[in-house]
């Protein structure tokens, strides 16, 4: 049985194996009753010691109960490099109490890649594509960016290159970094359009320097409408920019987008920060599917979508920090939203009936009421004139 103190030691192991481990990490492995890890990690250890070697299963989540069942033993869990950088460390430690574990990280792939490339770590955008769609990269494709993508395996790299070409970034310089830090290390450089290697080894990361004629996603709110597939049911760019300004997304916050339509407001909320979350409610299944496709294409697949009437589907959802109602606000919905603690609400109205409801709500509950009138220049005979859009009334309130 383990002595008092941590029963689990999380050891980061690099491609140089035993030789690259710190003295405390080696001591933990030599004293362990069990060592758990992927076959590749276990193969990096010498055949020594009496510890039982346990292969971590696939999918990864299946191994967590196996690990927790060994409480009371001295257990070492092996993970790649720094276990808390796109690694398994946080997945495991969320099930443990402070004092039950200790970690000995090794240099991360990010650090090793930066050392090979001469890049400043703080300037690199890092993306883990082990089990996430390749479109996760989309917000980071802009000239001047430096991106490091951790790949599932070597076979996934040509797919990455082909996708970059499809996005108009075929001129991007790709540095393929294989088995960093070990005897199999190899670093090669090419472009997305010309990559034709079939011998890329695992583990592998790809450093991307975006270049080409592809469109870069702006950093400001209010993307052009043509970024989104829609059937006309979309909060238009200027109004969407005003809505997002009123919603004021902050890191880690959750948005409810009621009547999501094309998903444009929720998607831009998610693009504002990688820690934000959003749930979209939409009755129409075709619009729901379109919103899902838009979210995936723009790299925010974490948008959660719920089909059905929002009033029927709000129960048991995590409480939002902000709610956007793009249309269809009703008294019952207002009353339901009034029960949410510490919440910001932004609602838009186009029809006279909903505008009257917003005026009534403003009188009862306070907040800000804003009338938005927009007009665009359009041909008028041989000259030009202003064509007005329907005015939008925005109610913004916090309770």
Q: What is the pLDDT of residue 139?
A: 97
Cα maximum dimension of the chain: 90
Under the banding of pLDDT at 50, 70 and 90, the label for residue 49 is confident
Token code pair at residue 138:
């989309």
40: closest CA among 24, 19, 17, 21?
Answer: 17
CB 151 within 8 A of CB 207: no
Residue 175 pLDDT level (bands cut at 50, 70, 90): very high
Predicted pLDDT at 4:
64
pLDDT at position 187 over 70? yes
- Domain with residues 110-209, CATH architecture: 2-Layer Sandwich (3.30)
Q: Give the model confidence (pLDDT) of 115-148 as tens digits.
A: 999 999 999 999 999 889 999 999 999 999 999 9
Res. 76: pLDDT tops 60:
yes
**Contact residues for 241 (Cβ-Cβ < 8 A; gap 6+):** 220, 221, 222
Percent of the chain with pLDDT over 70: 99
Provide CATH code, domain 225-398. 3.40.50.150
**Contact 245/346 with Cβ under 8 angstroms?**
no
Supply the pLDDT for residue 2.
Answer: 44
Residue range 80-96: mean pLDDT, rounded: 94
Q: Domain extents for the chain? A: 8-107, 110-209, 225-398
The architecture in CATH of the region 8-107 reads 3-Layer(aba) Sandwich (3.40)
Q: Quick: pLDDT tens for 264-273.
A: 999 999 999 9
Report whether pLDDT(1) > 50: no
| Percent share of the chain, pLDDT over 90 | 94
User: Quick one: pLDDT band at residue 77, thresholds 50, 70, 90?
Assistant: very high
Same fold, 110-209 and 225-398: no
pLDDT digit string (tens) for 103-124? 999 999 999 999 999 999 999 9
């Amino acid at each position: 049985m383990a002595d008092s103190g941590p029963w689990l030691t999380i050891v980061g192991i690099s491609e140089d194996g035993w030789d690259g481990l710190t003295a405390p990490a080696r001591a933990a492995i030599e004293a362990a009753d069990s060592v758990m890890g992927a076959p590749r990690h276990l193969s990096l250890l010498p055949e020594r010691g009496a510890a039982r070697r346990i292969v971590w299963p696939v999918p990864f989540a299946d191994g967590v109960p196996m690990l927790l069942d060994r409480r009371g033993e001295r257990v070492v869990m092996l993970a790649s490099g720094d276990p808390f950088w796109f690694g398994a460390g946080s997945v495991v430690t969320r099930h443990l109490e402070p004092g039950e574990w200790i970690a000995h990280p090794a240099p991360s792939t990010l650090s090793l890649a930066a050392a090979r490339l001469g890049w400043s770590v703080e300037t690199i955008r890092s993306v883990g594509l082990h089990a996430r769609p390749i479109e996760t990269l989309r917000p980071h494709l802009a000239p001047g960016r430096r991106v490091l993508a951790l790949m599932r395996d070597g076979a996934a790299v040509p797919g990455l290159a082909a996708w970059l070409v499809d996005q108009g970034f075929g001129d991007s310089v790709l540095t393929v970094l294989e088995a960093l830090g070990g005897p199999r290390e190899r670093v090669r450089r090419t472009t997305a359009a010309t990559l034709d290697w079939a011998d890329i080894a695992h583990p592998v990361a790809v450093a991307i320097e975006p270049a080409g004629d592809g469109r870069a996603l702006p950093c400001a709110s209010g993307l052009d409408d043509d970024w989104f597939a829609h059937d006309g049911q979309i909060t238009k760019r200027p109004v969407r920019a005003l809505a997002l300004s009123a919603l004021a997304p902050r890191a880690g916050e959750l948005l409810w987008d009621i009547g999501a339509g094309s998903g444009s407001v929720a998607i831009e909320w998610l693009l504002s920060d990688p820690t934000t979350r959003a749930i979209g409610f939409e009755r129409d299944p075709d619009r729901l599917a379109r919103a899902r496709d838009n979210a995936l294409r723009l790299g925010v697949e974490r948008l959660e979508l719920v089909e059905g009437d929002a009033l029927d589907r709000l129960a048991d959802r995590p409480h939002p920090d902000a709610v956007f109602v793009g249309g269809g606000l009703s008294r019952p919905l207002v009353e339901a939203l009034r029960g949410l603690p510490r919440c910001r609400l932004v609602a838009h109205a186009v029809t006279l009936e909903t505008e009257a409801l917003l005026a009534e709500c403003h009188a009862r509950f306070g907040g800000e009421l804003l009338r938005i009138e927009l007009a665009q220049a359009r041909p008028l005979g041989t000259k030009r004139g202003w064509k007005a859009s329907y005015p939008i009334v925005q109610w913004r309130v916090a309770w």
